[in-house]
Amino acid sequence: MENTHRDDCLVTIVGAGPVGLCLGLGLARQGTEVLLLEKNPDTAEHSRAPAIWPATQEILADLGVIDQFLQQAITVPRLSLQDVDKQRTLFCAPLAQLSDITSYPQLLVLPQSDTEAILRDALLQQPTARLRFNCKVESVSQQQQGVQLSYTAPEGRRRAQCRIAVGCDGGKSLVREQIGAALEGKTYQAQAALADVDIEDSAHLPFPRLTTSPALAIGIRMTDNRWRLILPFAPGDSIPLDQRIEEAVQSLFGKPYHNVWQSEFRLHQRLSTLFSQGAIVLAGDAAHLNSPVGGQGMNAGIIDASLLGPAILAALDKGTDAPLHHYAQSRRDEIQSGVNRFTDKLTRILLWRQGRMIRLVLSLANMAMAVPPVRRRILKKMAMLT
């Protein structure tokens, strides 16, 4: 997969996650020479962000890859949250009712590893794209004629000269650090864990599934028998993660399971003080971090890429960085008032009194969904079509 052609190009993208791959694919489909540098040996191995909302599906259609996603993903036109403790539907979001404003009125559930693999394979088919793994960028500097990057590759130290550089290198972004920007915001007190588990003969079970016995846990099916568990917990909770996973599986499914992957993390809401400087731009988690509640983080990053691509093409065509700065300011404002505010509200609701009020809150929200204008507004917000 590694390519040893020359390093100079028009656009260099640091990071080959979903955001970097979408941006690179979009530019390459327009004939722009683009180089992607990824520090890891390949795309993601684990599921990470599995939710793909309608607005993102429209972008994937524009990139020519939506058919592969529809073939591999679980399609959810009616999102119905099941309360397994009380054997009832707690909240229902009929996304299919958005068919008048989108061609994809549904949620797609697909492990991020599969998302990245589809995008990677599509990118490698583009003659103007080069994708290099095992390449760790060490410095990014603005030059008179563009941007210079220094990186370590398997064959040694290398340099790349480009007109525009984009940091799609995640929450610990080196590119953001290099332009002197800070990721400001807050870290929530509560923590969370994720786990992917295989449960035999579970493909028929409705999802998402919720339990509060003995603690709040949510299960989302990602493939036939593989489920994502979401496990919020209070700071200082001394219960081992393996025990939390076992208790959640027994409450949600009552079946034997095999643990595939697990991770504990903190929840953040943060925004970079700068989205661009000169010909260096940020997108995705490098520019903004939001709580995973609502499943909008990866989607917001892919939307970044869809908006940044035309700005890059305009900057290259006009020979000015002005379109990049316009993208940076407008997108920063949109993220602050949009996805960050929305996911913050959802997170605070989820964590209110350590999740003990979630049934009441979701029941009230479900009552609100009975009012057509309110339902419409909520569905558009969830689908990221506002």
Q: Which residues form the domain of 233?
A: 185-268
Tell me, yes or no, whether 26 lies in a domain: yes
Look at residue 320 and give its three-state secondary structure: coil
- Boundary-marking domain end, from 233, 268, 303: 268
**14 lies in some domain:** yes
Nearest residue to 23 (alpha-carbon basis) of 280, 304, 285: 304
Q: Is residue 203 part of a domain?
A: yes
pLDDT value of position 6? 47
Same domain, 68 and 176: yes
Are residues 178 and 277 both part of a single domain? yes
Task: Please check whether residues 311 and 258 belong to one and the same domain.
Answer: no
Question: What would the DSSP string read from start to end of 264-293?
Answer: EEEEEEEEES-SEETTEEE-GGGTEE--ST
* Per-residue pLDDT at 354: 66
141 phi and psi, to 5 degrees?
-135, 140
Is 318 domain-assigned?
yes
Percent residues over pLDDT 70 in the chain: 98
State the chain's mean pLDDT as an integer: 94
Has residue 70 got a pLDDT over 90?
Answer: yes
**Per-residue confidence (pLDDT) for residue 283, from 0 to 100:** 98
Q: Is the pLDDT of residue 152 over 50?
A: yes
pLDDT recorded at residue 326: 98
We report the CATH number of the domain holding residue 225 as 3.30.9.10
CA 289 to chain centre: 10
Q: Which two tokens stand for residue 184?
A: 């400001």
Mean pLDDT of 289-311: 95
| Pairing assessment for the beta strands 74-76 and 217-221 based on DSSP bridges | unpaired
Same domain, 217 and 196: yes
Residue 208 preceded by cis peptide, ω within 30? yes
pLDDT score recorded for residue 26:
98
Q: What mean pLDDT do residues 361-383 have?
A: 95
* Higher pLDDT pick, 355 / 83: 83
Read off the pLDDT of each residue in 134-155 and give the average, rounded to a whole number.
95
65 and 203 co-located in one domain: no
In a domain, 42, yes or no: yes
Give the model's pLDDT for residue 231. Answer: 93
- Together in a domain, 243 and 301: no
Residue whose structure tokens are 């036939």: 224
Q: At what angle do helices 372-382 and 358-368 cross, to 10 degrees?
A: 120
The pLDDT of residue 5 is above 60: no
Q: What is the per-residue pLDDT for 27?
A: 98
How many CA within 13 A on the CB side of residue 234? 9
| Among the ranges given (44-48, 349-353, 367-371), the one the predictor scored with the smallest mean pLDDT | 349-353
| 368, part of any domain | no
Same domain, 236 and 304: no
- pLDDT given for residue 357 in this prediction: 83
Can you give the CATH number for the domain in which 308 is found? 3.50.50.60
pLDDT by residue (tens digit) across 121-130? 999 999 999 9
Report the alpha-carbon distance of residue 245 to residue 218 in Å, rounded: 11
Rounded CA-CA distance 293/159 in Å is 39
Answer whether residue 4 shows pLDDT above 60: no
- 40-62: per-residue pLDDT in tens? 999 988 778 999 999 999 999 99
Higher pLDDT, 104 or 346: 104
Same domain assignment for residues 161 and 213: no
Confidence label for 2 from pLDDT (cuts 50, 70 and 90)? very low
pLDDT at 350: 75
Q: Are 296 and 339 part of one and the same domain?
A: yes
Percent share of the chain, pLDDT over 90? 84
Q: Is the pLDDT of residue 218 over 50?
A: yes
Give strand ranges (E) for 67-182. 74-76, 79-83, 88-93, 107-109, 129-132, 136-143, 146-153, 156-167
Buried b (16+ CB within 10 A) or exposed e, 188-212: bebbbbbbbbebeebeebebbbbbb
Residue 105, pLDDT score:
98
**What pLDDT is stored for residue 363 in this prediction?**
93
Give tens-digit pLDDT for 236-282: 788 999 999 999 999 999 999 999 999 998 888 999 999 999 999 99
Rg of the Cα atoms in the chain: 21
Band the pLDDT of 234: cuts 50, 70, 90: confident
Counting the structural domains of the chain, the total is 2
Q: Domain check: are 54 and 150 in the same one?
A: yes
Q: Does residue 251 share a domain with residue 191?
A: yes
Residue 104 lies in a domain: no
- Look at residue 119 and tell me whether its pLDDT is greater than 70: yes
Asked if residue 160 and residue 283 are part of one domain, the reply reads: yes
pLDDT tens-digit map of 26-39: 999 999 999 999 99
pLDDT band at 220 (very low <50, low <70, confident <90, very high): very high
Whether the predicted pLDDT of 1 surpasses 70: no
Burial class (CB in 10 A: 0-12, 13-18, 19+), 104: buried
Whether 3 shows a pLDDT value over 50: the answer reads: no
Scored b (16 or more CB within 10 A) or e, 220-247 reads bbbbebbbbbbbbbeeeeeeebeebbeb
